[in-house]
Amino acid sequence: MRFVDRTAAGKRLAEELERMDLGDPVVLGLPRGGIPVAYEVARALGAPLDVIAVRKLGVPYQPELGFGAIGEDGVRIMNDDVVRAARVSPRERAEIERDACEALAQRLRRYRGDRPPAGLTGRTAVVVDDGIATGSTASAACRVARARGAARVVLAVPLAPAEALAWLRQEADAVVCLYSPDCFGSVGQWYVNFAQTGDDEVAALLARGATPGENTAPAARAGTAESTAAPGPETAGHVAGDPEVMIGAGPATLPGSLVVPDGAPGIVAFAHGSGSSRHSPRNQAVASALNRAGFGTLLFDLLTPDEEQDRTHVFDIGLLAERLTLAVLWLRRERALPVGCFGASTGAAAALVSAAEPHTDIAAVVSRGGRPDLATGRLAEVRAPTLLIVGGADTEVLRLNRQAAQRLRYEHQVAVVPGATHLFEEPGALEAVAHLATEWFARHMTPHGAAAMPAPGRTR
């Protein structure tokens, strides 16, 4: 089963919840992707809609890999196995939690505005997200709802893996899940359209859904297919224009999404970071900006689902770079166009190692919050113009990028997005990344840009 988009998933989920005796419900959506799903549920139930604030706690230098989550009212969930494996010290954990608490407070102010939180005392809290991967965030959300006085907590999601559901049934009084695939992978792979949900959209839906009876259908977002229900198994799979491809990488076969506009001057291959996949909403947002600028894009999984279970593979830069190199060579055979690489976190190190291989002939590299220090031994061999984009508030990673830049011998630049943290979640931060990346690729992958290029050298 694949859902057309979050709106369709929300309508399907609402049908299941309408069959239940929920008493006096309040619908609580997890930002950001859970809010469009929760909006449809709240509208169907005639219930008020509010946001439930939780935030993942990311491992230092690899924040996409979470070691726990926090929520309002001091709720915290810890994964001790990840804490031990990643060697997160008590000092680091305290600093990360403090920063996360500040970010939570800012997010609540942005989403709720001047509205007070919805009252939960004695009511049924229906906690909604667009899907569950590990369950730590959903677990924290359920505990937050109880801490705010909910008499009953119902967790409702379109899809989740069986092991996460078994754990979450201990946290919630009831769990509603439409689909639990055997080979789960990631949430995004079960949606046809998994475009990033913006902060403005979240705030607008929450304002519209705060008062029952005043909810109206949200305006269709550009590029979002409209549907009244999620597709069942008989319609699962490819849809018209579905850009899915399969890439052979030695013994592995890796799924990807390839979009090539007519007249594209080149294609950008994306290498995601640890704990992510080709469905990364941040990479998808940058890819959409590149598509609008006329560039082709390839987002693909660097690891198979079985390989992802072994965390050592996530940090195996050699393996990731080999997979990316094979994808680049495949693209050049299939499309005969220049190929650039966009890497995030550990994926940036893989992109730089791949660009150091003489046979790849990568046209340009862009790193978003990357770890070029993990490719230190190959940096001097990189043969592609390289842009390192780092958040101004991501101080440790910024330091690592500046040190790595000193080892690059080909043209390169460090671009700092003021005030941005590692995941570029601040308003306008990701848009700045997309703009910088588009300009860099246009400069190095188009005939006009190449003609205006200076001789290879160092720029800062």
Its domain, for residue 318, covers: 244-451
**361 lies in some domain:** yes
Place of tokens 């909604």: 128
Considering the domain architecture, whether residues 123 and 265 belong to the same structural domain is answered as no
Considering the domain architecture, whether residues 208 and 250 belong to the same structural domain is answered as no
- The whole-angstrom separation of Cα 43 and Cα 45 is 6
Sheet strands (E) in 372-453: 386-391, 412-417
- Quick one: pLDDT at residue 379? 93
Bridge partners for 124 per DSSP: 25, 152
Sheet strands (E) in 237-321: 244-249, 252-259, 267-271, 296-300
Considering the domain architecture, whether residues 224 and 258 belong to the same structural domain is answered as no
Last residue of a domain, one of 178, 210, 234: 234
Bridge partners for 381 per DSSP: none
Q: What digits encode the pLDDT tens for the residues 204-219?
A: 999 988 766 544 433 3
- The whole-angstrom separation of Cα 92 and Cα 197 is 30
Rg of the Cα atoms in the chain: 22
Structure tokens at 16: 């299941």
Do the Cβ atoms of 78 and 62 come closer than 8 Å? no
**294 lies in some domain:** yes
Q: What digits encode the pLDDT tens for the residues 142-187?
A: 998 998 889 999 999 999 999 889 989 999 999 999 999 887 777 8
**315 lies in some domain:** yes
Considering the domain architecture, whether residues 278 and 311 belong to the same structural domain is answered as yes
Beta strands 62-71 and 76-78: pairing type?
antiparallel
**193 lies in some domain:** yes
Considering the domain architecture, whether residues 200 and 305 belong to the same structural domain is answered as no
Last residue of a domain, one of 234, 268, 297: 234
Considering the domain architecture, whether residues 53 and 181 belong to the same structural domain is answered as yes
**13 lies in some domain:** yes
What's the gap between Cα 391 and its chain centre?
A: 17
Q: What digits encode the pLDDT tens for the residues 329-366?
A: 999 888 889 999 999 988 899 999 999 988 889 999 99
Do the Cβ atoms of 413 and 388 come closer than 8 Å? yes
- Quick one: pLDDT at residue 450? 43
What's the gap between Cα 283 and its chain centre?
A: 7
- The whole-angstrom separation of Cα 87 and Cα 65 is 13
Q: What digits encode the pLDDT tens for the residues 399-419?
A: 999 999 999 999 999 999 998
- 370 CB contacts (<8 Å, ≥6 apart)? 273, 343, 344, 345, 347, 348, 349, 351, 388, 390, 397, 401
On the 0-12 / 13-18 / 19+ scale of CB atoms within 10 A, 292 is: exposed
Series of mean pLDDT values for 10-residue runs along the chain (460 residues): 89 95 94 94 95 84 74 78 82 87 87 88 96 85 90 96 91 95 81 84 89 47 32 31 69 84 92 76 87 91 74 76 90 90 91 91 94 90 94 92 93 93 86 93 76 38
